[in-house]
Amino acid sequence: MKAEAEGSGWSIDEIDVIASIPFAVSEKRSVRETAKQLLKKILVFHTRLQKDLGVEVADESSRKNLEYQYIAPNADYVNELSTAVEQLQVPDEVLDRGIDEMMGVGTLQQCLDSFERFVNLGATNINPCPIIADEESDEILSKEIIPYLKSKGYGKSFRG
């Protein structure tokens, strides 16, 4: 990213690096399975992430069809996405590694550690995105995660 910034005439210090991190504070197996399904949906669209995780990139025609429909998803889109996710062959251990590297899933401390890892990699802003949309996640976000990030100074003026 630094090289790209400099190639555009910017210093990396002049650019906000926002990490949107899916998270779930839970040790339930079902929540981890939900995270795996979310990760597979993400991988359908991002062949670069597939390569980073060592997944063989499958035929891109279904992904391209989904991209063209991305603006106005309909029933066909939902069906095609579900099919693409089912057909994407990703071993469980790779999904687990992907979750550990790209998400915050587990105890509150494990989630906070994940956010810290992104800051250490250069993120200047953290955007925690709940995997499970429920009141419990909203409460943890508002009472635990946001105050933690604020106490660390992670935001617009933060420069790691």
- Across the range 85-103, mean pLDDT stands at 92
Q: Measured in Å, how far apart are the chain's first and last C-alpha atoms?
A: 15
Domain boundaries, the chain: 1-27+107-160, 29-103
**Percentage of residues in the chain having pLDDT higher than 90:** 46
Residue pLDDT, tens place only, 97-123: 999 999 999 999 999 999 999 999 988
Give 15-78 as a DSSP string.
S--EEEEEEEE---HHHHHHHHHHHHHHHHH-HHHHHHTTPPP--SHHHHHHHHHTTS--HHHH
pLDDT 10s digits, 33-69: 999 999 999 988 888 888 888 888 766 655 666 665 5
Q: What is the mean pLDDT of residues 69-97?
A: 82
